Amino acid sequence: MTRLAALSFASLLVLGSAARAEEAPRPIRLNQTGLEANGPKRAVMADSAKTALDWTLLDASGAVVASGRTKAFGDDAASGEHVHQIDFSAFRKAGDGYRLRVGAAESRPFALRARPDGRLTRAALSFFYQQRASVPIEARFVERPDLARPAGHAPDKATCFDQADERGQVWPGCDYTLDASDGWYDAGDHGKYVVNGGIAVWTLVNAYERAAVLKRPGALKALGDGSQALPENANSVPDILDEARFELSFLLAMQVPDGKTLKVPVGKQKPVDGKLALTAIDASGMAHQKIADRYWTGLPTAPADDKQVRYLYYPTTAATLNLAAVTAQAARVWKTIDPAFSARCLEAARRAFAAALRHPDIYQLGPFTGSGGYGDGDLTDELYWAAAELYVTTGDANAEKTLRASPLFLASPTAGTRSTGDISWGSVGALGTITLALAPNGLKPAEIAQARANLTASAGKYLSDDIGQGYALPYAAPGYPWGSNSSVLNRAVVLGLAYDFTGEIAYRYGAVDAMDYVLGRNPLDRSYVTGFGARAMRNPHHRFWARQANGAYPAPPAGVVSGGPNSTSMGDDVAKTMKGQCKPQTCWTDDYRAFTQNEVAINWNAPLVWASAFLDDTMR
């Protein structure tokens, strides 16, 4: 391990992610990891007063160093509270032990930082190493010895599902076995999914590509070789790309070999008498949707103790387009780093793109007991994204034709359809526009400018949402969905890019607001990231980081983000008791059983890495 990587985990040990007693909630809420000395500084307090209140800022000695009046925001629908906002951005002296006071209410002590420390970026990226399949997680690369574990699913070989599903339909299987070792476990379970892997890989690689294209030396160093505690951290390759490549290895392995005929459901079907109509197709070049257990494993279960039979589940157009998109992206990013790997990725991208055009309507029509579905009935966005990545990498005329024919051409994340809504595994249209706006390509300068303008317009909409929220975050919704924290963090990605494109500081401040919410400025006075903050999440829904369920298992490492409040899909036993009893931002419990609220996932941690790296890189 390099000295830098060792230092990074020494710093994480100081956090004491599971050892210290949890503090009681405080009435004044703010980012529990501290604030930027030269950046925006806001706190929120719930109070019934209709008019502004006096506030004071105290230093570590108790002296008053700043004062002002709160903004009486009023009733806040998302939190159910009557709130006041405290803005003390004008005070810029770095230091520790500051406290805000309003009447008898006082915040816990906090720091004002003059420069980034990089801890959150390193910890958030370490999550992916600790989700790796097929290899042991070594004690020398993690913050605590109890987080080390033997390899699970080593090797991870499977043939196609050939059993009866829960409808009683017997699937025909296939005549081959794939070695789909490596990759990341998707979330709290042991499944590995191409669709969710696609957006997670893209986000990590895009964080690097942003730094490389915009020539950001600080970000390149923070994400570079030796920045992480990884087995590969001294190979002259940026560590963030080493981590992404581990998942790409799995994704490449999920591609159907040439010459294979499979029976799959074609088109948007509804089961007739419990059965789907299966059609034989040439599946060459398509991607299997997932590799997963036949049945759900118990909780907790260490990966090495998972004895379930694993299967490949039939290929889908969505998985195939995800594969095409991320391997096309990888082909250009690795072109000079590893030309042979770049060529392999480009070949896979071209095969997958051709297969998806040949079979545009093969949908995930599960469910299958033992794994998540990731079903998506609108693939317009996946096709646009894959075409954009392939075009930027190769200039391919067919990709350009598909790109320009798409109704999403240059569309922003707020274009008004599910395909271009908040970035998520099922809404990837904006990823294509981001790539066209950021990476050098053959579009006309006016078109690239339009892509940037559309993304900036979305960022402006997010700032408008920010103004309308009592807790001042760039997100507004009548209900908070499953994984709401990832929606907030993905908005931080768009806000960050808008800042990069325009230099307008308001967009960066919006990204700060998003991070402040996730790290404690919320009505629960919770940091949703393990190990960061006085009241950090501790009990994720996870089969290995499961100390709450069984003391023989470890508590989670630092840097893992919870899915967050969920008021729209309250299906677990904990959430069911809260249904109709909580406001959107408060529908959350730190309980391992609350999988709809407190699971973790690769596509949620990826924008945490991106946003944290961006904020560190642009801190003044």
Our measurement of the distance from residue 269's CA atom to the centroid of its chain's CA atoms, rounded to an integer in Å, reads 31
541 is catalytic: yes
H/E stretch holding 429: helix 429-438
The Cβ of residue 343 has, within 10 Å, a number of other Cβ atoms equal to: 13
Sign of the Cα torsion 509, 513, 519, 525 reads positive
Going by the DSSP 8-state scheme, the letter that residue 554 receives in this structure is: P
616 is catalytic: no
Sign of the Cα torsion 422, 198, 483, 573 reads positive
List the structure tokens of 619.
């801190």
Say if CB 57 and CB 100 are below 8 A apart: yes
Before 172, cis peptide (omega within 30)?
Answer: no
Catalytic residue among 153, 190, 359, 541: 541
List the structure tokens of 377.
């009935």
82 is catalytic: no
What residue type is 297 in one-letter code? T
What residue type is 570 in one-letter code? M
Q: Three-state SS string across 369-406, please?
A: CCCCCCCCCCCHHHHHHHHHHHHHHHCCHHHHHHHHHC
Written as one string, the DSSP assignment of 499-539 is HHHH--HHHHHHHHHHHHHHTT-STT--BSBTTSSTTB---
What residue type is 525 in one-letter code? D
288 is catalytic: no
Question: How far, in Å, CA of 28 to CA of 522, rounded?
Answer: 10
Catalytic residue among 81, 243, 599, 616: 599
H/E stretch holding 94: none
Say if CB 79 and CB 38 are below 8 A apart: no
Catalytic residue among 189, 225, 465, 525: 189
Beta strands at 287-293 and 192-193: parallel, antiparallel or unpaired: antiparallel
Say if CB 493 and CB 611 are below 8 A apart: yes
Question: How far, in Å, CA of 156 to CA of 278, rounded?
Answer: 27
Catalytic residue among 186, 376, 590, 617: 590
Residues assigned a catalytic role: 189, 541, 590, 599
